[in-house]
Amino acid sequence: MLGSRYYGHHPVFPIDKTVADINLEQVGRTDSSEGPQIANASLTGFDYSDVGTILEAAGKLTGIKVYKHEQNSDAFFDRSDNQALADQGVPAHTLCTAFVYPDYHGVAITGKDRLCQHGKGRSYGRTRACHELRTTLRRRSGTKRIPKWRAT
């Protein structure tokens, strides 16, 4: 998280012109500690801004269920790279397939990377959903319809 913190204080692109930040965390993986995650994704701080709702709609267009993980969505928000830009006021979240993996923060990934281990193309839908989100944000850029933090 040192790199994201550095960027938060030394942005290449002006913070006041940054519409949103979506950190992608292992979106190609399908092996969650809760079982296979094939056609879904979750978001840190799902309810903290309207990015979750926008991404949920983009997911529907691509066959990906984007949902709030009741136990981990909020708990992982401040433990992810999105926090650095959130601290600057930017609606910032991490999109992930799961929050905890069997080898979470371990040394198990060696010669064979686990990315897309359950078949080629499993991450395509999530990537497409991210593209739809980007397209939506681009259309909203410069309007009053950009993502906003929700009142707590």
pLDDT digit string, tens, across residues 77-132: 988 888 889 998 999 999 988 888 776 655 554 444 444 444 444 455 556 666 66
Helix ranges (DSSP H) in 1-152: 2-9, 51-62, 83-86, 124-140
Mark residue 63 as left, alpha or beta (left: phi above 0; alpha: psi -120 to 50; beta: remaining).
left
What number of other Cβ atoms are within 10 A of residue 58's Cβ?
A: 21
pLDDT band at 57 (very low <50, low <70, confident <90, very high): confident
CATH class entry, domain 2-100+113-140: alpha beta
Strand partners, 137: none
Strand partners, 66: 41
Measured at the CA of 78, the angle between CA 1 and CA 70, to 5 degrees, comes to 130
Ranges 37-41, 52-56, 146-150: which has the least confidence: 146-150
What's the pTM?
0.73
Strand partners, 24: 95
